[in-house]
Structure 1
C-alpha cells in the first residue's frame, strides 16, 4: 500500500471515528431519551439542531468520499478490516473525552485488534 492509499484509508477511519464521537457528544447534550409518539418530533428536532450531531453527520459524508477514493486504490479485503482501527480510536477518545472506562478486558481487546491490523497490513 503506497502512502496516498494509506492516507485515504486512515483518513476515512479517523473521520468515521470522529463522527461517532461527535454523535455521542450531541446525544450527551440532549440527555437520555426514549422515542415515543408524543416526543418523537421534539426529540428529533432537538437532536437535529445539536452542532455536534450536525458535525458528526458531516464527518460521515466526508468519510464516505475519502473511503471511496481509498477503495479505488486498495483491495477491499485489506481496506475493510482497517475500519477496526476506529474501535481503538473511539475507545481511547471516549476514555479521554467522556470518562468512559478502559478496563483490562477492553485493553486486551484493543491489543488483539492492533495485532490483527498489523498482521493484515503486512500481508
Structure 2
C-alpha cells in the first residue's frame, strides 16, 4: 500500500510540475507583448517559476517510477493550450484539440498502469487469507499426527 501512495504522490507532483512549467512559459509569452520593467519582471518571473518546476520534477522522481512520471509531463501541453486560450485569446484548430485528447488518454492510461485496481487488491487479500488458512490447517493436521 505504501508503494501505491508514493507512486500517486509522484504523479501529483509531476502534474504540478507541468502546470508550473506552463505558467513559466505563459509569463515569457506574455512578456513578449510588454516593454520596460513589466517585460523584465515577467521574464525573471518565468525563470524563477522554471526553477521551482525543476525542483518539483526532481522531487517527483523520488516518489514515482520514471517510466510513468516522465511521460506525464506531456500534460503541460494541455495547460499551455488552456492558458493561451483563456488569457491570450489564441485560436486553436480541431487538430490541436484532438491532440490534447490523445495526450489526456495517454496520461490516463499511464496513471492507471502505475496503480492497482481495487479489484486486484481484493483478490490479492483473499488469496493471502486462503494461503494462511491452508498453512494453518496443514500445521494443525501435522500436530495431530504427532500425538
Q: TM-score range by the shorter chain?
A: 0.7 to 0.9
Q: Which has the higher contact order (CA 8 A, sep 6+)?
A: 1
Q: Is the Cα–Cα contact under 8 Å of residues 25 and 53 in structure 1 kept in the other structure?
A: no
Query: How does 1:89-108 map onto structure 2 within 5 Å?
Result: 89-108=79-98
Structure 2 partner of 1:21: 26
Q: Which has the higher helix share?
A: 2
- Distance (whole Å) between structure 2 residues aligned to residue 105 and residue 7 of structure 1: 28
Aligned-residue offset at 1:120? 1.1
Report the equivalent of 1:72: 62
Tell me what 2:134 maps to.
none
> Of 94, 99, 113, which residue of structure 2 is paired with 1:109?
99
Task: Tell me which structure has the larger Cα radius of gyration.
Answer: 2
Over the aligned positions, Cα root-mean-square deviation in angstroms equals: 1.9
For these two proteins, the number of residue pairs brought into alignment is: 108
Equivalence map 1:82-93=2 (5 Å):
82-93=72-83
Residue 52 (structure 2) aligns with? 62
- Runs (5+) with no aligned partner, structure 1: 31-45
| Unpaired segments ≥5 residues, structure 2 | 114-147
Taking structure 1 as the reference length, the TM-score comes to 0.79
Q: Secondary structure at the match of 1:28?
A: coil
